[in-house]
Structure 1
Amino acid sequence: MLASLVSILSLMLSTLLMMVAFGLQSYVVPVRAVAEGWSTQTIAMIATGYTVGFTLSCVVTPKFVLLVGHVRVFVALITLLAIAILLCALVVDWRAWMLFRAISGFAISGSYLIIESWLNERVTNENRGSVFSIYLITTMVGTIGGQYLVPLGDPSNTSLFILCGIIFSVALLPTALTSSPLPAPPTQARFDLPKLYRRSPVAVVGAFLAGALSGAWLNLGGVFTQRTGLSTAEGATLLACVLLGSALAQIPIGRASDRMDRRLVMVVCGIVGTISCLVMSMVAGGPAMVLYAVAAFVGSVIFPIYALNVAHANDRAQPNEYVEVSSGMMIVYGFGTISGPLMVGPIMDRFGPGSLFAVLAVYFALYGAYAAWRISRREANEGLVSKTDYQAMSAQPLGADAAAAALQPDAVTDERVEDTTTPEWR
């Protein structure tokens, strides 16, 4: 265990710094957009640029890694992250920001993909859970820490944007200068969406809705905090509560889904999400402490549900199909993240910031209702190959968690299939 941690120490340090900058960026961009007087629909369009870039990177980045290797691509992507946020400071126009955010989405997606595939090669089956728990804590601490940098500056000028670019640049140093062994050359993954849907409709539909939920929240949550009158510090705390709720709920949800029909857990998550979002929409603008508490309940289901769908899809897959399934689920999730801000932005403009959670409640209701309907259509064990173990994903599963499987070398993948029936999820 100690040897594995030492071998990834530089990578984890780069990850921490990258997530600090990411947390700062993800909060300061919507805060500045609101300060510019842009409508929620306009901000949603900017967010769509980010999600399109993110989804595209999941397909394109493995090709670059295949050509020049992990470290060179990682350095290039972090450089793009720094350039994109600095360009936002230089050119304050929503059309330009849509392009800059697309570059940012492309770069952060590829960075996640490389980090997580690199980690998977450095760990063993015996210490995988422990190492990835440390990784998840690192991403959460970094993101929350970055969000709390916003109250220390003024989003209306360039200082926080420059600071963000500097932190991204510093994140390059530990990995660029590492002497640790580099990951083996990757392979390319295929995906067949029609086949995936036929095998597990609830996993595909659920992944799309999970993407719509997280895409809407991650891109418009900062707008909600500004337009409900919260200070930047209170807004950072609200966003942190969602992440903390997600982190605390991962293990209970995972254990429950491993012991019963996963679709039942999906139904319960849909109910919890619907109720908590409806409550949030009603208390919007109320006391901050009440918002924090309800936000934690929203967070307890808004991010973990994607892992449920990946688990359900892998339950019905052969071991040699895990990469194909993960890649397909990632693409579906990406399409969902694109649709979320586009649907929610105009509604927030028309009905106010609280309507964000009203729409999220509808998505959660659809999520739970569809899972319930599929229970009535198919027996729990029908089509089951082997029930795989649920494993927690990052607090903000933007899709690269599954996509990292696409960068695993053939030899390593084959060995894992022989040793265990558990798929390699992140």
Structure 2
Amino acid sequence: MNGQTIETASPLSIASIVVSMTIAAIGSGIMSAYVPFVLTQTGDTWAASAAVPTLAFGGLVGCLVGGPLIRRVGHARLFSCSMAMVIIAAVLIATNPPPIYWVLARGVYGAASNVNFIIAQSWLNHAASNEWRGRAMSFFYMAFVLGLGAGAWLFGRIPTDGNLAPLAVVFVTALAILPIGLTRLPNPPAPANVNVDIKMAWRISPVGLIGVLASGGLSMVIQGFVPIYATTSHVAQTDVALLMLVMQTGLLFVQYPLGMLSDRIDRRFVLLITCALIVAAGAAALFVSFSMMIVLMLVFLIFGGAVETVYSVANAHANDRADPGDFVPLSSTLLVAWSTAATIVPLGVTLLTPAFGQHTFIYAVILVAIAYGTYVIWRLKERVGVPADERENVGLRSAQLPNASVMTGPETEKPAK
């Protein structure tokens, strides 16, 4: 089945997967803005903050259970089930329950969405041929992130005094089931186990491992706390939505050029540039008020795009140094490391915000970037970089989409150099 799939599949044949996940991303973008906005407006800021690490923890659970569940029921059936869980989470929020249930619903969504990522990436990897797999994955990431931005933009046009927003999420999520449900692509083989080996990952690339850890915390903090920050600053709903949309475009305007640069020079120098951008954007965010909305949006575009860049470049830096036999356990370890940091760092921000105020998340991002940049400088003195002609291209990758392609089986292993 694998050989037939790779021989007959064309770029057009994967459209069903990309379309399904892009539609699902629109629903995610709506809910990612709606939940913090409404909870903060009603005075339940603690719940809005707690929903951020809960979402990430649910994602970690999804990473761990996704593979066994796919082996049990198959890709297509599990995709429908995980989309159903997204709908259940949205319906729960639509009933306007006590805030704690909003938090639990975000955890359910986090688990279901990561299972969806695993299924989609697995299918893409096995349907695409070697000649265009990289372009297919880059297009998938770009479409998904732009879908998130489109969802945030739509949120700005949906009244929040009722339950229309979560009902819109129910509608688009149900719609997202149809393209994959009707696809003629054969189911790929069962994914590999998630084999976590921290010592091996550290031996291969300390900069890569620490970078993925840093990006997990950075991404979840930026994406989760920016709408809370804007809402507590009494920013209008439409401006909150526009700010979230602009942040997603950082994938194109910041990550893409920096990723291309990292394909030509030592990736660690690019990571240093990225950390400097994060610190500069964070410092600017502390002093630029919401009365200068256009300037602030530019600041957060750089902020969000630089965070995305840390993930893609650090992940590529680790893969540059991995032997073919280490590729699957390395990627599994990076996947779990990302999800773990995405849970712990936002949890720390949630606990510290009452003491340090609404700028706590910005302080946290700046500190993480400084610490990681300092570590990269130290490592530059310890190890010579891999020549550019021996490395793979970075491509577009989002820190909001953990790299679950490791779970697609042996065909994704990197060929020997």
Normalising TM by the smaller chain, what interval?
over 0.9
State the one-letter code of the partner of 2:261.
Answer: A
CA offsets 1:281-328 (integer angstroms, 9 cap, x no match): 111333110111111211221112111111121122111221111110
2:343 is the counterpart of 1:343: no
In the other structure, the counterpart of 1:417 is: 415
Question: How much has 1:117 moved relative to structure 2?
Answer: 1.4
In the other structure, the counterpart of 2:11 is: 5
Contact 1:203 1:312 survives alignment (8 Å): yes
Contact 1:246 1:302 survives alignment (8 Å): no
Partner Cα separation in structure 2 for residue 385 and residue 336 of structure 1: 29
State which of 57, 65, 69 in structure 2 corresponds to 1:64: 69
State which of 35, 45, 52 in structure 2 corresponds to 1:47: 52
2:222 is the counterpart of 1:224: no
Question: What's the TM-score, normalizing by structure 1?
Answer: 0.90
State the one-letter code of the partner of 1:328.
Answer: T
Q: How does 1:117-196 map to 2 (within 5 A)?
A: 117-196=122-201
In the other structure, the counterpart of 2:400 is: 397
CA offsets 1:171-218 (integer angstroms, 9 cap, x no match): 111111222322233332422012212332222222111111111112
More deviation in 335-344 or 194-203? 194-203
Residues 348, 290 of structure 1: alpha-carbon distance in 2 compared, 3 angstrom cutoff? farther
2:275 is the counterpart of 1:270: yes
Classify the secondary structure of the residue corresponding to 1:66.
helix
Contact 1:151 1:233 survives alignment (8 Å): yes
In the other structure, the counterpart of 1:38 is: 44
Residues 5, 198 of structure 1: alpha-carbon distance in 2 compared, 3 angstrom cutoff? closer
Partner Cα separation in structure 1 for residue 294 and residue 382 of structure 2: 42
Question: How much has 1:385 moved relative to structure 2?
Answer: 12
Contact 1:307 1:390 survives alignment (8 Å): no
Contact 2:54 2:103 survives alignment (8 Å): yes
CA offsets 1:242-278 (integer angstroms, 9 cap, x no match): 2112222233222222222221211111111101111
Question: How much has 1:89 moved relative to structure 2?
Answer: 2.0
In the other structure, the counterpart of 1:114 is: 119
Question: How much has 1:339 moved relative to structure 2?
Answer: 1.7
Contact 1:209 1:336 survives alignment (8 Å): yes
State which of 296, 310, 321 in structure 2 corresponds to 1:316: 321
State the one-letter code of the partner of 2:415.
Answer: V
Partner Cα separation in structure 1 for residue 48 and residue 199 of structure 2: 33
Partner Cα separation in structure 2 for residue 251 and residue 281 of structure 1: 26
Partner Cα separation in structure 2 for residue 289 and residue 413 of structure 1: 43
In the other structure, the counterpart of 1:406 is: 407
More deviation in 6-15 or 130-139? 130-139
Classify the secondary structure of the residue corresponding to 1:279.
helix
CA offsets 1:120-177 (integer angstroms, 9 cap, x no match): 1111222223323332332133111111121222223211111111211111111112
Question: How much has 1:96 moved relative to structure 2?
Answer: 1.8
CA offsets 1:83-109 (integer angstroms, 9 cap, x no match): 011112225223222221111000001
Partner Cα separation in structure 2 for residue 225 and residue 98 of structure 1: 20
CA offsets 1:16-46 (integer angstroms, 9 cap, x no match): 210111111111111111122113x432222
Partner Cα separation in structure 2 for residue 5 and residue 239 of structure 1: 30
Partner Cα separation in structure 2 for residue 249 and residue 203 of structure 1: 20
State which of 97, 100, 110 in structure 2 corresponds to 1:95: 100
2:371 is the counterpart of 1:370: no
**Cα RMSD between the aligned structures?**
2.2
State which of 4, 14, 22 in structure 2 corresponds to 1:16: 22
Stretches of structure 2 that go unaligned for 5 or more consecutive residues are 1-6
State the one-letter code of the partner of 1:26.
Answer: S
Contact 2:62 2:112 survives alignment (8 Å): yes
Contact 2:192 2:406 survives alignment (8 Å): no
More deviation in 212-221 or 90-99? 90-99
Contact 2:192 2:407 survives alignment (8 Å): yes
State which of 239, 255, 272 in structure 2 corresponds to 1:234: 239
Contact 2:125 2:408 survives alignment (8 Å): no
Question: How much has 1:386 moved relative to structure 2?
Answer: 8.8
State the one-letter code of the partner of 1:19.
Answer: A
Classify the secondary structure of the residue corresponding to 1:157.
coil
State which of 344, 355, 361 in structure 1 corresponds to 2:366: 361
Classify the secondary structure of the residue corresponding to 1:98.
helix
Partner Cα separation in structure 1 for residue 261 and residue 12 of structure 2: 33
